[in-house]
Structure 1
Amino acid sequence: MKDNGVEYLSNKKHKIVFVMGSTATGKSKLSVDLATFFPSEIINSDKIQFYKGLDIITNKINQSDRRGVPHHLLGVIHDPDADLTAGEFCSLVEDAIADVISRGCLPIVVGGSNNYIEALVENPITDFRSRFDCCFLWTDVALPVLYKYIAKRVDQMVELGLVEEVREMFVPGADYSRGIRRAIGAPELDSYFKAEKNNEEETYKNDLLKSGIHEIKENTCRLALRQFGKIHRLRDEIGWGLHRIDATAVFEKSGEEAADEWMNGVLKPSLGIVGEFLNEKQKINQMETMTKNRSMGVMDEYEELKAKWNFGSNNAIGFGLVIVFTSLGLMTNWIWSWK
């Protein structure tokens, strides 16, 4: 296969990193963090994010959180009623992989559509496994902790305009079994928008809205559980060598403590795994130096920025961490906005 005249499928097995996990476990953030250390581009593998629109309820990563890292296959399907088949998914992802490799970059495939990811990797027709060397990272969060966070995140999404976003796409009698309207957040609000259109009493509409938001939370938790079970099946029954990264402690804490847990418990081990996979020992050593400098407090800028960002505040949804590594001539910007 060739892409723009570049033969990317040679005798050499190209390397690919997959970042997997249940919804809301920090997959997007980890993929961007990895891409700031290794020359990489990110390929979306969440099938509902292939569709254009509904950016809030589908949790598409925004431009600022991408931090300049190229992202592919976000919002590429413009027909809201089109059904993305597993075959179409695999074809689009393979083309994106070829495109990234042609530029000499590492493809990082990130998303939670595990059935489609399995179809891609285990495809006997394309023989994906024989052509690519895969590294699977699994961001995991204990389900009780994740459920609590999901409820908070849905509330934040409502504040960001979830209801208004879905209202713009509301069509009476729409088929919620097709296309982007399958996204959690759309069918749950159908009764509310119907009541709104029929000018029902405010109390009745408010009750429907509260019920719809509660249903969004419940269905998102059910999705997380299904994804959790699928990942276990891929590991235990199919035999995928998944590297489990336990991010539970990040979600149990806030502010600076959560940032430290992310760096030491999630980012550092992930960089080590990917560094060894790519045989990039220099990157591993760089991370070790960064962590050491951070813990020794050798940068006055860190203390100033810590005060500026008020890391000690009790912010369960988002927080920022900016660390200036003067001695390395490197600035790493961690801005939390869980997607």
Structure 2
Amino acid sequence: MSSTPRSPQVQVVAVVGPTAAGKSDLGVELARRLGGEVINTDSMQLYRGMDIGTAKLPESERGGVPHHLLDVWDVRETASVAEYQRLARDRIELLLAEGRVPVLVGGSGLYVRAAVDRLEFPGTDPEVRAALEAELAARGSGHLHQRLADADPAAAAAILPSNGRRIVRALEVIAITGAPFTAQLPGPDEDQSVYRTLQIGVDVARPELDARITTRVDRMWEAGFPDEVRRLEQAGLREGRTASRALGYQQLLASFAGEHDEATAREETVRTTRRFARRQDTWFRRDGRVHWLSGAAADRAQLPGLAWELVEREFGR
């Protein structure tokens, strides 16, 4: 199937925002009302078996709405935004051809942009990549993250200091193109949309979001998250350059290796997830096309209705 995009008049909805804000439930409700289907834009939910730790919505909570681009990659595979873009565009085109509305749901900002914006990804340079990976192995991700912060502060703000793979890629792009990594992304004031997309951001105040993240991690452990990571470890999780660094998975793998105890892994998962949520919020706040709605507990009952009003206003539904 061709991944050639249609005109910008096509209707797509994207539900975005930080982790634990309530995107998944809203995405299901909008897809149900629109007669649409959900397309995942969470980079880690693309991995098979990474269910509990990524808060992958179980079948019983999907309301009969088909979900796409879940469980695509083996945990040993390295994630590729370019490959995701191809998969997402193909799925969007198929749904549109069937008269179904694609509802993108997830908090991986670059994946959302890859799906709906006119985004091209520079190639790779084996020599540059090898040199950066050697430096990563010798000096650690923190050192390279500081270099990225000096060269491209916006990219450094969006990438965790522990995410060596993404830091290496950003520095590689800078070396190849001679321009900041974020220069490859169209600015929010540029008309670079491939589809006529309504982006709805789910906003939760920091204290409440931090509390939700703590509760989510507690429930992950209650649901058997350590057992999930042990099973995936046997399936090659440690070999995966991307999956092994996922929040919670990285901390438990370190615990299994004797670097710290499980209680510390749990605490570190809470801490790093809170920090990651702040980075997600920063990423999406830069895009003026996002319409923000409150996902606070006090406003949760009104959220679907307000989101539907946005859809009707944007698309005349």
| TM-score, structure 2 normalization | 0.72
Counterpart for residue 116 of structure 2: 121
Distance in 1, Cα, partners of 2:235 & 2:49 = 18
What's the RMSD between the two structures over aligned residues?
2.7
| Secondary structure at 1:23 match in 2 | coil
The answer to whether the aligner puts 1:227 opposite 2:227 as a matched pair is no
Counterpart for residue 155 of structure 2: none
- Confirm or deny: 8 A CA contact 1:13 1:130 kept in the other structure: no
Higher relative contact order (CA 8 A, sep 6+): 2
Counterpart for residue 300 of structure 2: 262
Counterpart for residue 86 of structure 1: 81
- Matching residue within 36, 41, 44 for 1:45: 41
Q: CA offsets, 1:239-266, max 9 Å, x none?
A: xx21101112x1xxxxxxx5xx3222x1
- Classify 1:132/1:166 alpha carbon distance in 2 versus 1 (closer, same or farther; 3 Å): same
Name the structure with the higher strand share.
Answer: 1
Q: CA offsets, 1:210-248, max 9 Å, x none?
A: 11100010011011011011111223xxxxx21101112
The answer to whether the aligner puts 1:273 opposite 2:310 as a matched pair is yes
Q: Give unmatched runs, 5+ long, in structure 2.
A: 122-185
Distance in 1, Cα, partners of 2:120 & 2:276 = 29
- Classify 1:105/1:221 alpha carbon distance in 2 versus 1 (closer, same or farther; 3 Å): same
Amino acid at match of 2:255: Y
- Confirm or deny: 8 A CA contact 2:45 2:56 kept in the other structure: yes
Structure 1 residue 179 displacement after superposition: 2.9
- Classify 1:167/1:275 alpha carbon distance in 2 versus 1 (closer, same or farther; 3 Å): same
Structure 1 residue 169 displacement after superposition: 1.9
- Confirm or deny: 8 A CA contact 2:13 2:199 kept in the other structure: yes
Amino acid at match of 2:80: T
| Secondary structure at 2:286 match in 1 | helix
Counterpart for residue 103 of structure 2: 108
- Classify 1:63/1:172 alpha carbon distance in 2 versus 1 (closer, same or farther; 3 Å): closer
Structure 1 residue 191 displacement after superposition: 3.6
| Secondary structure at 1:24 match in 2 | coil
Structure 1 residue 117 displacement after superposition: 1.9
- Matching residue within 233, 245, 256 for 1:170: 233
- Confirm or deny: 8 A CA contact 2:237 2:243 kept in the other structure: no
Distance in 1, Cα, partners of 2:62 & 2:98 = 19
Runs of 4+ in 1 over 3 A off after TM superposition: 119-122, 124-131, 171-177
Counterpart for residue 192 of structure 1: 255
Q: CA offsets, 1:49-102, max 9 Å, x none?
A: 11101200011111011010010000011x212112121111111011011112
Amino acid at match of 2:280: Q
- Classify 1:247/1:172 alpha carbon distance in 2 versus 1 (closer, same or farther; 3 Å): closer
Identical-residue share of aligned pairs (%): 33
- Classify 1:246/1:211 alpha carbon distance in 2 versus 1 (closer, same or farther; 3 Å): same
Structure number, greater radius of gyration: 1
Q: Give unmatched runs, 5+ long, in structure 1.
A: 196-204, 236-240, 251-257, 281-339
- Confirm or deny: 8 A CA contact 2:77 2:240 kept in the other structure: no
| TM-score, structure 1 normalization | 0.68
The answer to whether the aligner puts 1:243 opposite 2:238 as a matched pair is no
- Confirm or deny: 8 A CA contact 1:170 1:193 kept in the other structure: no
- Confirm or deny: 8 A CA contact 1:83 1:178 kept in the other structure: yes
Structure 1 residue 166 displacement after superposition: 0.7
Structure 1 residue 144 displacement after superposition: 1.5
- Confirm or deny: 8 A CA contact 2:36 2:102 kept in the other structure: yes
Distance in 2, Cα, partners of 1:243 & 1:66 = 24
Counterpart for residue 206 of structure 2: 143
